[in-house]
Amino acid sequence: MLTAPQTLPSWQRVLAVVAHPDDESFGLGALIDAFARAGAAVDVLCLTRGEASTLGAAPDLATVRAAELEAAGRALGARSTRLLDLPDGGLGDLDPEQVAALVREAADDTRPEGLLVFDSTGISGHPDHVAATGAALVTAERLDLPVLAWTLPEDLARQLVAETGVPFVGRSVGHFVVEVDRAAQHEAIAQHASQAVPGSVLWRRLELQGSTETLCWLRGPGAAAGPAG
């Protein structure tokens, strides 16, 4: 692990691709805020409406989560948020070309200099996270764009697994850290009242992360993509 924090790339336009409403805040929030405060236009593409599509919830939960995503995006300084309605829990079962085409459409509209995603491990192994990042990588290959991923250091992931049982996966090599300010992230998390519940592993993860985020290159400058080690 590197001992000194590095800096984010100086992209002027960033497309963040996530699977669920709240991923942009719970996972990428501090990074979206950091890009926005540096002057970048950050657009968020969320591929599903989250639990509203699979758990038999009241029909208005989809509307609630859409409003939460929009409010969270504002708190983070995002230029726009776009919420699609692909099946939560089922992204990996779809034709990858179908999902990649939706990411390509968003990229054509926003013309990013780079993509921001969850690590290819899915962070917690969630198949939707893996599929969303896979679709972003397909689009990045076709448009020749770099892909920067949020990840966890292996020791922190191991501690979270021991404490919570959630199957977090981290990296032992090929990553670097950046300093972040979590104020806007916490404001964005507060907008997701339907999901940011007391006792969630989210709070312990943020406590352990402190004021740093860990990143890796899945495509582009800085490092070659590689498996979590």
Neighbour tally for 39: CB within 10 Å:
9
Tell me the average pLDDT of the chain: 90
* Alpha-carbon span 110 to 166, nearest angstrom: 35
For residue 103, the domain's CATH number is: 3.40.50.10320
- What is the span of the domain harbouring residue 96? 13-219
Domain assignment present for 118: yes
- For residue 18, report the phi and psi dihedrals to the nearest 5 degrees: -135, 165
Provide the pairing of β-strand 13-18 with 114-118: parallel
Name the pTM for this structure. Answer: 0.91
Domain assignment present for 135: yes
Domain assignment present for 5: no
Provide the pairing of β-strand 114-118 with 147-151: parallel
Residue 54: predicted pLDDT: 46
Instruction: Give the count of domains, the chain.
Output: 1
- For residue 26, report the phi and psi dihedrals to the nearest 5 degrees: -65, -40
Assigned token pair, 212? 């740093």
Residue 152: predicted pLDDT: 97
| pLDDT average, residue stretch 146-150 | 98
**SS3 state of residue 126:** coil
In what helix (H) or strand (E) does residue 82 lie, and over which residues does it extend?
A: strand 80-86
